[in-house]
């Protein structure tokens, strides 16, 4: 299954989802409404705790011409980022409404990481079972 995880800047949530997606056997990519300054160092740190290296990843903007290449496009938007939510992009199948951990303590990053891991793992299991 080829899946694209999207958020606002492609620096935290969607990068974490891409990392777990690959770990769980999905052909995963990530992107944002705009490319941020890079992958958030705290996202890199909490993913390293899970054995996943995001240090070579970089922020990318959504390429609307490639959306049709994906079996699923999943938004990470939370209520706080609704004004910037990319879930309006054609092809988005779901919005997981996950809190943006940007500028939050590591505990928030860990909680967000664990929530994303659970959702991506369930997605991978669902797609494998079909």
Catalytic residues: 7, 77, 85
Q: What are phi and psi of 94, to 5 degrees?
A: -155, 150
d(CA 128, CA 63) in angstroms, rounded, equals 27
Distance separating alpha carbons of residues 96 and 86, to the nearest angstrom? 12
Query: 86, 33 in Cβ contact below 8 A?
Result: yes
Helix, strand, coil content of the chain in percent (nearest 5): 45, 15, 40
């Amino acid at each position: 299954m080829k899946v694209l995880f999207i958020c606002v800047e492609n620096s935290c949530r969607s990068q974490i989802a891409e990392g777990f997606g690959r770990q769980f056997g999905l052909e995963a990519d990530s992107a944002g409404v705009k490319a941020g300054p890079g992958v958030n160092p705290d996202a890199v740190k909490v993913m390293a705790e899970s054995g996943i290296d995001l240090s070579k990843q970089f922020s990318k903007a959504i390429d609307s011409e490639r959306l049709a290449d994906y079996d699923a496009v999943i938004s990470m938007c939370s209520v706080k980022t609704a004004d910037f939510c990319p879930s309006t992009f054609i092809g988005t199948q779901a919005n997981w409404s996950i809190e943006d951990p940007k500028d939050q303590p590591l505990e928030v990053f860990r909680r967000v990481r664990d929530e994303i891991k659970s959702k991506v793992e369930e997605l991978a299991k669902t797609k494998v079972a079909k």
